[in-house]
């Protein structure tokens, strides 16, 4: 049945949704916002409202209703849009944002930087200027923002810290000593690059992780490999965990 037709004496779906959209003010709309209506009809109605300018299409199944301002139509709130993107695919802070979350820096990055398990993120959802690191391991889906940020920090060898090397090491170890954190990250270690596994081994040795966990990490590494630990090469057992000698300027 066509959208324009009435059903059982009720207004057509497009009219119902138009009224909801116009009454809802500035916000994001998705198919799930109309659970009492047929999905196919909702999809067609939202698409029609986008074509006539009532809504702005952000990505498949996601639309934005703006408001008039002195400077023209309003733009979607970046924070709300990122939360919406995260609801579709996990999205975690990366780079300087991750370091800031963990207390290694007070800087605010000039451009947002995120990591996701997805192969891609719609640019209108993530933000056109956002740096997106895709295809993080599926195991990251079980992590909190803080745990994922810590793995990102290890992947960068602590290069995003603005603390001294000594204070960076001290804070890294303090973060890993928080109850349950080392065990959680050790469980996802098999999906991390060898360099991160080696760093986790060196950290675990320093904070007294279980010998069974350390044996598993050791067995996952090629004993003839050498890894650049960056700032974290100052870990007490870094050499035993295959860290390269750090060349200082």
Task: Please state the domain extents for the chain.
Answer: 13-73, 77-157, 163-249
Domain 13-73 classification at class level: mainly alpha
- What confidence score (pLDDT) does residue 138 get? 93
pTM above 0.85, yes or no: no
Structure tokens at 93: 């802070």
Q: What is the pLDDT of residues 29-40, one digit of tens each?
A: 888 888 888 888
Judged against a pLDDT cut of 80, whether residue 174 lies above it is answered with yes
Asked if 237 and 229 count as a contact pair (C-beta separation under 8 A), the reply is no
What is the distance between the alpha carbons of residues 39 and 17, in angstroms, rounded to a whole number?
12
- What confidence score (pLDDT) does residue 68 get? 76
157, 170, 160, 144: which is closest to 104 by C-alpha? 160
Q: What is the pLDDT of residues 53-68, one digit of tens each?
A: 889 888 778 888 888 7
Cα distances (Å, whole numbers) of residue 75 to 20, 21, 121: 20, 16, 19
| pLDDT bracket for residue 11 (50, 70, 90) | low
Our measurement of the distance from residue 26's CA atom to the centroid of its chain's CA atoms, rounded to an integer in Å, reads 25
Q: What is the radius of gyration, based on Cα positions, of the chain?
A: 24
Structure tokens at 200: 């986790």
């Amino acid at each position: 049945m066509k959208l324009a037709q009435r059903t059982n004496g009720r207004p057509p779906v497009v009219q119902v949704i138009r009224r909801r959209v116009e009454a809802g003010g500035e916000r994001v709309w998705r198919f799930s916002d109309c659970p009492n209506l047929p999905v196919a009809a909702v999809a067609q109605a939202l698409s029609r409202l986008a074509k006539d300018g009532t809504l702005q299409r952000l990505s498949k199944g996601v639309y934005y209703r703006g408001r008039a301002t002195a400077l023209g139509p309003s733009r979607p709130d970046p924070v709300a849009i990122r939360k919406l993107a995260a609801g579709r695919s996990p999205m975690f802070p990366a780079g300087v944002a991750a370091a800031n979350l963990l207390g290694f820096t007070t800087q605010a990055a000039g451009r947002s930087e995120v990591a996701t398990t997805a192969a891609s993120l719609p640019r209108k959802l993530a933000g056109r200027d956002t740096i997106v690191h895709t295809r993080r391991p599926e195991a990251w889906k079980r992590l909190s923002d803080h745990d994922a940020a810590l793995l990102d920090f290890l992947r960068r060898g602590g290069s995003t810290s603005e603390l001294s090397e000594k204070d960076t090491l001290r804070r890294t170890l303090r973060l890993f000593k928080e109850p349950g954190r080392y065990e959680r990250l050790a469980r996802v270690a098999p999906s991390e690059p060898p360099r991160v596994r080696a760093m986790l081994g060196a950290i675990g040795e320093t904070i007294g992780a279980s010998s069974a966990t350390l044996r598993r990490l050791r067995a996952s590494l090629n004993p003839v490999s050498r890894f650049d630990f960056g700032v974290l090469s100052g870990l007490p057992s870094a050499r035993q965990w295959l860290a390269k000698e750090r060349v200082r300027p």
